[in-house]
């Protein structure tokens, strides 16, 4: 397969051909997030609270998988653009091997820390028990998610976006189908409760991995994974981590943020922890489709950057910014018009729905401007400038929002935490533009 189409095809059709399959798969992934939480909420509010408390650690493991996968993607795309096939093969092979190591270490660590972690935020033994039962099963499938995402990013690096769409969508659809069967015991399946939700998630991730493996062996890629490329190469490993670590932190910082916000909100009411958990499920309907455009952009900017096509890099960035902004604008309108209906998907308690309405309307004020940060981070990762993208994420997830949430909560209670979101997005957008322009100025 010849990847030169990445620098020859007109920019808009090229971006759409790469991004739309990922947008579709991200929409299905968003639906999975909503449906999974919907069924868990039907078990009890304690189960939904447990899911919200486990989420930061679960998200950290996913962040490591995706972040390091971004590193694999960027290094492969750069070497392909520069015409260095051997280095691209080496990056793919060593990236996959390191992903397997990450899976073993993080899966075991997740199980080990979970009892103490849960008790930091709740004194309810029911919530702790539900969280432990869910997390042990979910973390047991860490190898499936790590290896699956590594293959996903390898396929994306060579432009095989339809394969990753099928892989992601198949796993998510399987999860959606299995959730009610395993949770409630429909037909011949036993009722497993929250363990059923965890098992459905793990099986879905395994199905995605199996699809990637089948396609790789039946229709080989131009990038090869082989034993001859497995011997560690210091330059390759350093480059993988140079992009992968900042990209991981970009994603993992949200786990730190959620944990810190849970601690702030717990002082007011456990209801607000549930509301925050629901918000993070709902916002996937916006940020995952926007991330689909970003995923389509990453290999393109990496390839064109490696090939010296800097004008095409600028055009790709501007197009993704417009498309992400359109998605965020639509999300703002939906949250302003239908907040009660959205919260009602996860709870029937009037107090929780009312608190959620307030939260969604306030937080949505920052959606549109957040497109700047999301697009800039993705573009910088694709260009291999992980440190620059990390600066933007630090602003969004730590440097601005945590002090703002703490101070505003002292003035306005839980509503102060919700206001910290839009304040942060405005400041982070300004930081993003400055960082992106500086990082790419010498290529203008």
Q: Using a pLDDT cut of 90, give the percent of the chain over it.
A: 44
pLDDT value at 444 more than 50: no
pLDDT value at 6 more than 80: no
pLDDT value at 3 more than 70: no
Q: Which has more confidence, 376 or 23?
A: 376
- Whether the CB-CB separation of 362 and 422 falls below 8 Å is answered with yes
Q: Tell me, what's the pLDDT at 292?
A: 84
Q: Using a pLDDT cut of 70, give the percent of the chain over it.
A: 98
Q: Tell me, what's the pLDDT at 331?
A: 93
CA distance linking residue 238 with residue 223, whole number of Å:
20
Residue 229: strand, helix, or coil: helix
Query: Closest by alpha carbon to 40, among 226, 224, 194, 164?
Result: 194
Per-residue pLDDT, averaged over 77-97, amounts to: 88
CA distance linking residue 231 with residue 233, whole number of Å:
6
Query: Closest by alpha carbon to 343, among 38, 30, 33, 31?
Result: 38
Q: Tell me, what's the pLDDT at 1?
A: 47
Query: Closest by alpha carbon to 419, among 407, 431, 432, 429?
Result: 407
CA distance linking residue 343 with residue 360, whole number of Å:
9
Q: How many residues does the chain have?
A: 444
Please state, rounded to an integer, the average pLDDT across all residues of the chain.
88
pLDDT digits (tens, 9 = 90+) for 274-319: 899 889 888 888 888 888 898 888 888 888 887 888 888 889 999 9
Residue found under tokens 């945590």: 402
For 41-73, letters b (16+ CB in 10 Å) and e give bebebbbbbbbbbbbbbbbbbbbbbbbbbbbbb
Tell me how crowded residue 218 is: count the other CB atoms within 10 A of its CB: 7
pLDDT digits (tens, 9 = 90+) for 313-370: 889 999 999 999 999 999 999 999 999 999 988 888 888 899 999 999 999 999 999 9
Q: Tell me, what's the pLDDT at 2?
A: 54
Q: What is the torsional sign of CA 20, 24, 25, 29?
A: positive
Per-residue pLDDT, averaged over 38-53, amounts to: 86
Q: Report domain extents, the chain.
A: 9-443
Q: Which has more confidence, 128 or 156?
A: 128
- Whether the CB-CB separation of 270 and 49 falls below 8 Å is answered with yes
pLDDT digits (tens, 9 = 90+) for 137-172: 999 999 999 999 999 999 988 878 889 889 988 998
Confidence of residue 429 (pLDDT cuts 50, 70, 90): very high
pLDDT digits (tens, 9 = 90+) for 199-244: 999 999 999 999 999 999 998 888 889 888 888 788 888 989 888 8
Q: Tell me, what's the pLDDT at 59?
A: 82
Query: Closest by alpha carbon to 276, among 288, 261, 286?
Result: 261
Q: Tell me, what's the pLDDT at 443?
A: 54
Q: Tell me, what's the pLDDT at 7?
A: 73
Q: Could you give the count of Cα atoms lying within 13 Å of 23 in the half-sphere of its Cβ?
A: 16
């Amino acid at each position: 397969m010849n990847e030169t189409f990445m620098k020859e095809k007109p920019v808009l059709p090229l971006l759409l051909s790469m991004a739309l399959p990922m947008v579709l798969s991200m929409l299905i992934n968003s639906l999975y997030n909503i449906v999974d939480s919907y069924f868990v909420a039907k078990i009890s509010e304690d189960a939904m609270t447990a899911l919200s408390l486990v989420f930061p650690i679960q998200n950290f493991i996913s962040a490591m998988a995706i972040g390091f996968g971004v590193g694999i993607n960027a290094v492969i795309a750069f070497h392909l653009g520069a015409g260095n096939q051997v280095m691209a093969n080496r990056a793919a092979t060593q990236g996959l091997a390191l992903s397997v190591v990450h899976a073993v270490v993080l899966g075991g660590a997740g199980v080990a820390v979970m009892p103490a972690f849960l008790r930091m935020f709740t004194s309810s033994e029911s919530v702790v028990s539900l969280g432990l039962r869910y997390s042990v099963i979910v973390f047991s499938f860490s190898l499936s998610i790590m290896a699956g995402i590594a293959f996903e990013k390898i396929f994306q690096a060579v432009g095989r976006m339809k394969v990753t769409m099928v892989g992601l969508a198949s796993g998510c659809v399987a999860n959606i189908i299995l959730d009610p069967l395993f949770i409630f015991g429909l037909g011949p399946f036993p009722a497993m409760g929250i363990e059923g939700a965890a098992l459905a998630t793990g099986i879905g991730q395994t199905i995605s991995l199996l699809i990637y493996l089948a396609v790789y062996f039946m229709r080989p890629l131009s990038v090869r994974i082989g034993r001859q490329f497995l011997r560690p190469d210091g330059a390759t490993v350093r480059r993988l981590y140079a992009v992968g670590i900042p990209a991981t932190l970009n994603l993992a910082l949200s786990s730190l943020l959620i944990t810190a916000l849970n601690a702030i909100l717990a002082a007011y009411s456990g209801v607000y922890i549930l509301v925050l958990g629901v918000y993070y499920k709902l916002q996937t309907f916006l940020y995952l489709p926007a991330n689909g455009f970003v995923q389509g952009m990453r290999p393109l900017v990496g390839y064109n950057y490696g090939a010296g096509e800097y004008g095409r890099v600028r055009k790709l960035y501007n197009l993704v910014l417009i498309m992400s902004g359109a998605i965020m604008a639509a999300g703002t309108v939906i949250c302003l018009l239908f907040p009660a209906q959205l919260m009602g998907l996860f709870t029937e308690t009037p107090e929780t729905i009312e608190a959620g309405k307030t939260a969604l309307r306030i937080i949505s004020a920052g959606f549109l401007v957040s497109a700047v940060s999301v697009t800039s981070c993705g573009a910088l990762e694709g260009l291999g400038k992980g440190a620059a993208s990390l600066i933007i994420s630090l602003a969004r997830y730590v440097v601005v929002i945590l002090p703002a949430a703490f101070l505003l909560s002292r003035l306005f209670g839980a509503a102060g935490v919700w206001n910290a979101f839009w304040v942060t997005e405005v400041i982070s957008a300004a930081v993003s533009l400055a960082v992106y322009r500086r990082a790419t100025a010498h290529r203008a």
